[in-house]
Amino acid sequence: MEITSVVKEDFLTFSNEDTFSSVIGKMRKFEKKSGLVFRNNKYIGLIVKKKLLRTKIDTTEAKINQFVQKTPILNEHADIIEAAYLMYLSNLDFLPVERNKKIFGVLDALDLVKLCLGLSETKSLNVSDIKIIKSKKINKDDFVSTVVDLMYKERLDQVPIFEKGELYGIITYRDLMRKYLNWSPRRDISAKFNKMASSRSAEVDMPNLANLPVSSFSTNDNLLTIGKGDKLNKAIEIMIKNGISNLILMDGNEFLGMLTVKNILRKIGSLKIPKNFNIKFIGLNEVKLKPYQKYNIKKITANEAFKIQRQVHNEFFLNIHLKEYEKDGNRQKYSVNLRVEFPGQIITSTQEDWDVETALRKTFNNAKNKLKKKFRGDSSWRKYYE
């Protein structure tokens, strides 16, 4: 299954020369947590608002360049398991997606996890199958700055608050954005606070807010929790419905830890799916490709083979024949011939392109479309369709 259906083209872009104040203002206006940063129209990384909470600089003058976080880039046809593992390794909730070597969209962690609900391998998972985060306990009288540091280090959007060892409430990233950085003028913020947060003196005044007790910001009623014996699907549905990336895990009245999207992605990315196919390359060593191109060809083929496996649900063989046959100056044109063989059936596909990886992806896309048409309405095969 590919990520294509959940890629969003609604995202913020910034120049590496933009100031913090302009970036925060734009994020506040459109209520976004992240944005893509470009230098001369070339993508260089991500800026995350949560990270800006810990920044102690003059936001009206400082440029965002030094705080840009480098990220991997997903292809729009990436498999969801591959994407889950890459997002987990990057320690981010948000990754750029490319089409024809250009950034055209973004993938959000919650959207990816929602898509993973359709995998047969996830339907049997329980909350207890996921590694739980046991973060430092925050007391209701601790400073807000302590929570900000914990959220950043542990990648948490919610932190439970305790009083004498008992769960007292929860403080959320949204609460901090709304009250600590004046997230939206439409929210319930006082006029005095709005004026202070938007002034040039905010740099001096904000540290005083950081020293306020967390109980001034916490939510203490109707807390969202999940039990360790619940199905993982139930937890994911609660996260999606409420737009949060972690949940409080309870065993009765006992606090056990935090269930996070990050560790859900870790579990999904580590799923071991039995391989029911064999791959044979013809011409791979004859065409003039650089080592990294050969590596990419093998990786793309393996990923696409798993996608076909979800359609065929049977043992099959892949034969990939690569040729180079036309040249235009320094450019070389490639042809890719694909043959899929499984019991009683043969599917073939051929595509060509000046970029060998593009030709390979086009070939697999044609083959997958043929398989969909072939098995549409054929319940005897009990196929899984993307």
- Statement to judge: residues 202 and 225 lie in one domain: yes
159 & 263 share domain: yes
249 and 154 share a domain? yes
Amino acid sitting at position 256: L
Please state, in angstroms and rounded to a whole number, the distance separating the CA atoms of residues 18 and 25.
11
| Strand-pair category, 246-251 with 34-39 | unpaired
Q: Among 75, 108, 141, where does a domain finish?
A: 108
Is 76 within the bounds of a domain?
Answer: yes
Tokens 């083979």 found at = 305
Q: Please report, in angstroms and rounded to a whole number, the separation of the first and last CA atoms in the chain.
A: 5
- Report the C-alpha gap between 279 and 161 in whole angstroms: 53
Which residue intervals of the chain are DSSP H helices?
20-30, 49-52, 80-90, 109-116, 144-154, 173-179, 191-197, 202-210, 232-242, 261-269, 291-312, 356-375
User: What is the SS3 assignment for 365?
Assistant: helix
**Domain co-membership, 104 together with 139:** no
Q: Assess contact for 223 and 170: CB atoms under 8 A.
A: yes
Do 138 and 236 belong together in one domain? yes
pLDDT tens over the chain, length 386 residues: 789 899 999 999 999 989 888 888 888 888 788 899 999 989 999 998 766 665 555 556 677 887 888 899 998 888 888 889 889 888 888 899 998 889 999 999 999 999 988 887 888 899 999 999 887 788 999 988 888 888 877 777 788 899 988 889 888 877 776 665 554 434 333 444 344 444 444 443 444 566 788 888 888 888 889 998 999 999 999 999 988 888 999 888 888 999 999 999 999 888 877 788 899 999 999 998 988 889 889 988 988 888 888 788 788 999 999 999 877 777 889 999 999 999 888 999 999 999 999 999 999 999 988 988 887 755 444 443 33
Q: Does any domain span residue 94?
A: yes
* CATH number of the structural domain spanning residue 202: 3.10.580.10
Q: What is the pTM of this model?
A: 0.69
Per-residue b/e over 2-27, b at no fewer than 16 CB within 10 Å?
bbbebbeeebbebbbebbbbbbbeeb
Pick from 160, 176, 134, 148: which is nearest to 28 by CA? 176
Q: Indicate if 329 and 240 belong to the same structural domain.
A: no
Residues 153 and 259 placed together within one structural domain of the fold: yes
Asked if the structure places residue 78 within a domain, the reply is yes
Does residue 383 lie in a domain region?
Answer: no
CATH of the domain at 361: 3.30.160.100
| pLDDT score at 384 | 38
**Number of domains composing the chain:** 3
Separation of alpha carbons 373 and 386, rounded Å: 12
Same-domain check for residues 242 and 329: no
Please report whether residue 295 resides in a domain.
Answer: yes
Per-residue model confidence (pLDDT) at position 137: 84
Q: Using H for helix, E for strand and C for coil, what is the string for 111-173?
A: HHHHHHCCCCCCCCCEHHHCCCECCCCEECCCEHHHHHHHHHHHCCCEEEEEECCEEEEEEEH
**Does one domain contain both 202 and 248?**
yes
Instruction: For residue 54, give its domain range.
Output: 4-108
Paired strand residues for 36 = 13, 46
Q: Is residue 13 part of a domain?
A: yes
Does residue 122 belong to any structural domain of this protein? Answer: no
Does residue 282 share a domain with residue 238?
no
Does 382 map to a domain? no
Of 269, 287, 320, which closes a domain? 269
Same domain, 146 and 189: yes
User: Where is the domain boundary, 46, 73, 108?
Assistant: 108
Both 312 and 285 in a single domain? yes
